[in-house]
Structure 1
């Protein structure tokens, strides 16, 4: 067989070879700083190659016998302490060459990243800096160029957060137990932008749904009229759980 055909045949066989994979998890951890109306994301500085000294999401390779979700919670527990936390799987990123180690590895191992989306209460979240020289909350509009494909992961995660706010009660995961409707509206405007809805329509729509309980307690803040404190009623929301809702 001519040498050119031999090379072509060998290349064809290699193309059909099954890839070897290592699987990691990366956590996109959001929080809302309501005091300064900022949407934040947690970043850590990488302490090793590739991308030494560059910001990225908290991540880890999955260990033997460990589930993806357990790995996600493990890396969360190493970076942040939070009593109230919402976590769900976001997406799997596995494009060729997304990780420079693929071209360095003589066995051509592929690196998959199963990303998770998390939402925590900013006031209660405590960052853990043990053994890490860089860990910080970044406002979304100030995030630098990140390692790997993490800017793409962030864009995907931000879209998921916006969708969750519009179609689920995830906002109540990060609000205190008692809150004013103004507190709730402020959280929505911080994530979705000030033009998503006017306050009057927002208030009217949510109260009609029947899962916000007026506690009868008023909160005085500043010179304005005292505002009613509400509580999210999970039992009242239960019949609506599997129905398509638009919260705004």
Structure 2
């Protein structure tokens, strides 16, 4: 009796008509609100069918002559103003019947998803007179249109993983920053709150942060040292888990 894998292979090689596709890009745009220790995601309310009036991730169909990455950046530029951000392609969601329009249009709708990370205080929302755009705490996101809850969950997992294995945090922080700025970003995204003293000691031991010799005063506490990220020194840790949180 053939196995399940053998049956799937046999079904796959049967001649079938080619599918027509439309390609969209959907962005899971995360922001880190370190003041309230919240990881947020940008949602927009759909202004047309399908799912009229329902929250979704910002998305668009790819235009003629436009690359996927350009479409992702266009979504960002239409929704927020921000200088420092991290953007990466996430995954392609293309299961049949993921979009209700497939039945009437006789076209399959693919979504090439991206995820982005920005700092909440640095990102200005662009409303342009259109209601229905907001930052939502990731833990409080409602039921979204299409399969966007699945895209969001996938993006959240990838973001946490990238933070532990890559210098993504330093694409979001200003050129100079305090160790507390970095600590707040990590703990907000990862949802883990280790002792700050241990975090500081482990991080500085790795050697890819340079003390600028400058300090900044915030509130009544002692002035905090400002650091700069050294990408060359970080190269030795590429794709290795950064165990300091």
TM-score tier, shorter chain, comes to: 0.7 to 0.9
Give 1 or 2 for the bigger CA radius of gyration: 1
Q: Does 1:221 align with 2:218?
A: yes
**Deviation of 1:15 (Å):** 7.5
CA distance in 1, matches of 2:71, 2:237: 28
Q: Deviations over 1:76-124 (max 9, x none)?
A: 111111111211100000111110111222xx21100000011112222
Which aligned pairs between 1:119-198 and structure 2 lie closer than 5 A?
A: 119-195=117-193, 197-198=194-195
Match of 1:92 in 2: 92
Q: How many residues were matched structurally?
A: 231
Match of 1:30 in 2: 30
CA distance in 1, matches of 2:32, 2:152: 15
CA distance in 2, matches of 1:132, 1:110: 29
Q: Deviations over 1:178-214 (max 9, x none)?
A: 222122111111111234x332332222112211111
Q: Does 1:233 align with 2:236?
A: no
CA distance in 1, matches of 2:224, 2:81: 31
CA distance in 2, matches of 1:223, 1:131: 41
CA distance in 2, matches of 1:50, 1:15: 32
CA distance in 2, matches of 1:162, 1:91: 15
Query: What are structure 2's unaligned runs of at least 5 residues?
Result: 1-13
**Deviation of 1:220 (Å):** 3.0
Query: What are structure 1's unaligned runs of at least 5 residues?
Result: 1-13
Give the TM-score taking structure 1 as reference length.
0.87
Structure 1 residue runs of 4+, over 4 Å off? none
**Deviation of 1:228 (Å):** 1.9
Which aligned pairs between 1:44-59 and structure 2 lie closer than 5 A?
A: 44-59=44-59
**Deviation of 1:74 (Å):** 1.3
Q: Does 1:103 align with 2:122?
A: no
CA RMSD of aligned residues (A): 1.8
**Deviation of 1:243 (Å):** 4.8
**Deviation of 1:241 (Å):** 5.9
Partner of 2:22, secondary structure, is: strand
